A and B are shown apart, each in its own frame.
Chain A
Amino acid sequence: MVNKIWGFLIIIGIFYSFITGNLEVVNTEILNSTKTTLDMILKILPVMGLWLGIMNIASKSGLIFKFSKFISPILKFLFPEIPVNHEAFSYISSNIVANMFGLGNAATPFGLKAMQAMQELNADKTQASRSMITFLVINTCGLTLIPTMIISLRMLYGSTDPTFILIPCIIVTFSSLFLALIIDRLFALKYK
């Protein structure tokens, strides 16, 4: 998917600029994009380090684990296929909690373990199970409570109120997640 889109972007870009006589701009952009990337990485790196450090404390002290116990009743409702006390639940909740704290890179390993656990329960190993799809719907909605990257970017560009977007983000995330889960249920009933 990404392969095709990437190729499409470059081909359309060069082709269109050639037709419109805009090739010079694209030519400078080809080299400029490398510098842009490096600049961005250098801006992101220190902020990422700070949060990885803080979150490592939360994870080692067991705070993330504690928080994940707190949301398990909701999970039992969302994943009726998974037996009570199955290990899948602990991975799913750890993934969700890590996502909430904006720990995308810590969330992924938990998420993959959760997928493996759900695959064990799956009758047809080539086909996605209902709980897997529900789990991925939650993940694609991006349950981030604190989008640290965006806040630091807003600071960098001189926002008068960098954290203004926190509450709106939470409202949008949870209302779209809620609607997405309803749609997921409807699809699940239809595809039974």
Chain B
Amino acid sequence: MISLISNAIVPFLILVIIIYGIVKKINIYDVFVDGAKECIDLSLNLFPSMLAMIFGINIFLKSGFVSFFFDKLCNFFPFLNFPVEILSMMVLRSISGSSSLAILTNIFENYGPDSLTGVLGSILQGSTDTTFYVLTIYFGTVGIKKIRYAMAVGVIADVICIIISIILVNLII
């Protein structure tokens, strides 16, 4: 049932958008091409920051420090019985969207997208946003210096999201 609804959402959404565009007498083809054009610029703008992040993250991950750190952590907290990648993804998700996406790619490669780890990673990536990035950009633009309790609420929200994801994944798989 879930997969039936999920399968229907994307095609249905496209259908609604196309039909609405025709009803409103929009040149849907031209407008589509116009919008799609932006992907070149966006990808080029994405490249430097993504390169920086993948460079930093991969050095960090390949050094073996993360597995060392989380191995120690798992010794103290046996209930944290997750692969190292998913733990680092939980930490990195709120810092950088592209680096957690890079880790998700690794997870898919090593465990497969349909494994428990793969599904948990997908949900973590899809159900929250880069808290630090959002706060920096938005407050920075309007010149806010004192952000008061914004960071606290943002981080608590991320932790809540991680907890709910873990519970849900264990229920559905």
**Residues of A participating in the B interface, judged by any CB pair closer than 8 Å:** 1-2, 5-6, 9-10, 12-14, 16-17, 20, 22, 25-26, 29-30, 32-34, 36-38, 40-41, 44-46, 48-50, 52-63, 101, 105, 108, 111-112, 115-116, 118-119, 125-128, 132-133, 136-137, 139-142, 144-151, 153-154, 156-173, 175-177, 179-180, 183-184, 187-188, 190-191
Contact = CB atoms under 8 A, between A and B. Distances in A.
A180 B59 contact: no
A153 to B, nearest CB: 7
A52 B36 contact: yes
B50 A153 contact: no
B3 A163 contact: yes
9 contacts: A2-B132, A13-B62, A63-B17, A116-B142, A125-B143, A141-B157, A146-B9, A169-B126, A173-B126
A126 B146 CA distance: 6
Interface SS of chain B: helix, strand, loop or mixed?
helix
Interface residues on B, range: 35 or more
Contacts of B114: 159-161, 164
B64 A17 contact: yes
A130 B14 CA distance: 37
A136 B135 contact: yes
B164 A180 contact: no
Interface of B: 2-3, 5-7, 9-10, 13-14, 16-18, 20-21, 23-24, 26, 28, 31-40, 42-43, 46-47, 50-65, 68, 94-96, 101-102, 104-105, 108-109, 112-114, 118-119, 122-123, 125-139, 141-150, 152-154, 156-158, 160-161, 164-165, 168-169, 172
Contact of B58 (A1, A29, A116): A29
A52 B138 contact: no
A138 to B, nearest CB: 10
A58 B6 contact: no
Contact of B63 (A22, A59, A61, A172): A22
Given A61-B26, A147-B125, A157-B109, A34 B51 contact: yes
Given A2-B95, A29-B62, A33-B55, A127 B144 contact: yes
A161 B4 CA distance: 10
Contacts, number: 336
Interface SS of chain A: helix, strand, loop or mixed?
helix
Given A37-B47, A105-B42, A184 B65 contact: no
Given A13-B60, A57-B26, A141-B161, A112 B113 contact: no
Given A17-B64, A33-B59, A173-B127, A54 B35 contact: yes
Given A150-B126, A163-B6, A12 B165 contact: no
B90 to A, nearest CB: 13
Given A12-B63, A30-B59, A61 B96 contact: no
